[in-house]
Amino acid sequence: MSRLRIGLALVAVVVLIGLVPLGAQDTRLAPVFDGAAALRHVERLVAIGPRPAGSPALARARAYIVDELKKAGVSARLDSFDAATPHGRLPMANIVATIPGRRKDVILIGGHYDTKWFRDISFVGANDGGSSAAFLIELARRLPARPHEYTYWVVWFDGEEARESWTATDSLYGSRRMANELGKSRQLPSAVIVADMIGDRNLGIQREAGSTPWMNDIIWASAGRLGYTAHFLADSLAVEDDHAPFMRMGVPAALLIDFDFPPWHTTGDTLDKVSAQSLEIVGKVLLDALPGIEEGLSRSRGARP
Ligand SMILES: [Zn+2]
């Protein structure tokens, strides 16, 4: 008995010695998504205060994002435009970071960085607007080191929120603008992935019903492989978000959103509702899914008209 135990202990020691350097090497080659770093970006954005489209506060958020990209050595451009809203014409700007790949075809990963305008409450949108903006900064920092064939555009959409109430013309200002412009110049991306409200401490992402099924399948398979089935749920829910204008133009797309968020559009959407762990889970799942999505796109290219 005891000899067997010693034998097993030796095996365990050998296995551990064998695994430690291998694990360290893996981490160096494929850095994981850093949820704590993403949460620090949420903190900085929330500290600016409410950040509705067209406001000086959103211009400060934009400067913060562009500055963080510069520090990470990621090149970015602004697409500035005027949008006709129920509150008159407002200046807006999408931020587009480019991470070149071996091929020119583009996978767009986006989310909004504005917060909803309210007449009578102070809405800082830690999760709704803050989490997606912060998540994308950390993602843009990590993507260049990941093996990839496709070129990635990481896009911070302006004016996702309705000024008054959600209609086809009062919502999604930034993504509608970008999809239209790219459609006109025949430069639509090969696929679009949008993240919104992914910082909820109590993370539960349902499959978005309008999203392209094969893309959802790949993302949910990654979540299962990484042990996150408690956070990537089996049931589905339809949500219109920044992926919609691209989908309407025939681009395969997926939306990652946790819409079961009680403080949604209330003064309760504050920093304490957001966790580094949730941001990290979504980051790890998405990074794990990207090679499969690239493969799926390459396979379907021949089949598309
Ligand atoms: Zn919102």
Do 134 and 279 contact (CB within 8 A), yes or no? yes
Separation of 277 CA from ligand 1 center, angstroms?
A: 21
Q: How far is the CA of 223 from the centre of ligand 1 (A)?
A: 25
How many Å lie between the centroid of ligand 1 and the Cα of residue 51? 12
Extract the runs of DSSP E, i.e. beta strands, from 86-190: 88-99, 106-112, 151-157
Q: Ligand 1 centre from 55 Cα, in Å?
A: 16
| Cα 107 to chain centroid, rounded | 12
Q: How far, in Å, from the CA of 20 to the mean position of ligand 1?
A: 44
β-bridge mates for residue 78, sequence order = 95
DSSP H or E run through 75: strand 75-85
Gap from CA of 119 to ligand 1 centroid (Å): 15
C-alpha 261 – ligand 1 centre gap (Å): 11
What's the pTM? 0.89
Ligand 1 centre to CA of 114 (Å) is 9
End-to-end CA separation in angstroms for the chain: 68
Give mean pLDDT in consecutive 10-residue pieces for the chain, a chain of 305 residues: 41 41 43 91 98 98 98 97 97 98 97 97 98 98 94 98 96 98 98 98 98 98 98 97 98 98 98 98 98 94 51
- CB-CB neighbours of 287 under 10 Å: 18
CA of 228 to the centre of ligand 1 (A): 25
**pLDDT value at residue 227:** 97
Q: What is the pLDDT of residue 32?
A: 85
Residue 199 CA to residue 202 CA, distance in Å, equals 8
pLDDT the model gives residue 3: 41
Alpha helices by DSSP H, the chain? 2-29, 35-48, 56-71, 132-142, 173-184, 213-225, 244-247, 276-301
pLDDT for residue 147: 87
Ligand 1 center from residue 128 Cα (angstroms): 5
pLDDT value at residue 300: 81
